[in-house]
Amino acid sequence: MEISYSKEDYTAFCATLPDLPLCCEPWYLDAVVEEGQWSVVLVMDGKKALAAFPYFHKHRMGLHYVTMPLFTKYMGFIPGLELRQHPSQEVLSSLLKALPRFAGIDQQFSPLANDFIPRLPDSFQTFAYHTHRLSLGQGQDWRSGINRNMRRNIRKADALLTLKTELDLSTFHQINELSFTRQGLALPYSFAQLERHDQALAKAGRRQIFAAVDADDNIHSVAYVMWDKQAAYYHLSGDDPELRNSGSGIWLIAQALDFTQQQLKLPIFDFEGSMIPAIAAIREQFGATKTTYYRVQQQRSYLYRALKWWRNRR
């Protein structure tokens, strides 16, 4: 086995995985990194990659550390198809040893890495998180899995709302921000950051923006869906607080589900979380089930540990 740090090798490795999460694609990472860079370590068997470890790293306050970039759900350890069939501690250990010595690491591994979490060294802390996924087999009526009240609310909204798919990004951003404002929160990204992200997805043909509008062309809710070879992701969304009682948020999810099943013909719809009980309950009312993934942390520097503690208290 040999170690590679080549992004070309990583690109070739990604092409071999039918279930690679979209956010781990090299072109996706190119578009979201900011104030840092992404790098990768691979374990190679000849010209074939057995596993990869993409990571985003930054320098701040004299510390060199690994974190997650904007709009990115997963990074970290990705086992190849062969390694999943024949797990090897040696491959994982080789990858971890080949990483630079960072002050700290804080990454969310995809569910593809779940079987390897128990194999991590004791210096790593792991925390179980959940996303919600809905299976969409061809010919399967996903509406049969939702409760009666949800079905009634969707039918009621059907009479009030129309689906709009030609929405400019600026308008989407404005409605998206309203949901944060309503909760007294700042939008965690700028329009320029969203625009750069969107341009990469649009160029790859991997996104669709939806809006729920009424007869007067008022926008009630918006949603941003992106997809890879296996799953569509309910990536970003927002509601006009003055119009959200129309049930537009739930109705728009239903439209995204139909789009995923009927047009994209993908088997999985991923709600991208959330761990918040009220939001998780809505996902489950659609018939979605929890899928575990892990947040993985390593803290080598006392200063890094102190800064993480201080930030978590805020």
CB neighbourhood size of 262 (10 A): 10
Residue 137 in this model has a pLDDT that exceeds 80: no
271 falls within a domain: no
**Predicted local distance difference test score (pLDDT) of residue 162:** 97
The predicted model gives 129-136 an average pLDDT of 93
Together in a domain, 104 and 182: no
Instruction: Work out the pLDDT band at 274, boundaries 50, 70, 90.
Output: low
**Is the pLDDT at 154 greater than 70, yes or no?**
yes
- Per-residue model confidence as pLDDT tens digits over 155-198: 999 999 999 999 999 999 999 999 899 888 899 999 999 999 99
Domain of 47, in residue numbers: 2-130+292-313
Tokens representing 209? 């923006």
286 occurs within a structural domain: no
- Position 279 scores a pLDDT of 72
**Stretch 241-245: mean pLDDT:** 89
**Do 155 and 89 sit in the same domain of this protein?**
no
> Does 283 fall in a domain?
no
Domain shared by 117 and 142, yes or no: no
Indicate whether 99 and 199 sit together in one domain. no
Do 107 and 141 lie in one domain? The reply is no
What percent of the chain clears pLDDT 70, i.e. is strictly above it?
A: 97
Residues 235 and 226 sit within 8 Å (Cβ to Cβ):
yes
At 301 the pLDDT is: 86
Give the pLDDT confidence score for residue 314 in this predicted structure. 57
305 plus 241 within the same structural domain: no
Quick check: is 281 in a domain?
Answer: no
**pLDDT confidence band for 227 (50 / 70 / 90):** very high
- Asked if residues 32 and 74 have their Cβ atoms less than 8 Å apart, the reply is no
Pair (53, 85) in one structural domain: yes
Instruction: Identify whether 273 is part of a domain.
Output: no
Q: Which pLDDT score, from 0 to 100, does residue 313 have? A: 65
Average pLDDT for 290-308:
90
pLDDT given for residue 306 in this prediction: 83
Question: Does a structural domain hold residue 154?
Answer: yes
Q: How many structural domains compose the chain?
A: 2
pLDDT per residue over 76-121, tens digit each?
A: 999 999 999 999 999 999 999 999 999 999 999 999 999 999 999 9
Residues 102 and 192 in one domain: no
C-alpha closest to that of 206 among 23, 14, 1: 23
| Each residue's pLDDT tens digit, 37-79 | 999 999 999 999 999 999 999 998 889 999 999 999 999 999 9
Whether the bond between 274 and the residue before it is cis, its omega within 30 degrees of 0, is: yes
> Mean of the per-residue pLDDT values for the chain?
93
Q: What is the CATH number of the domain that holds 206?
A: 3.40.630.30
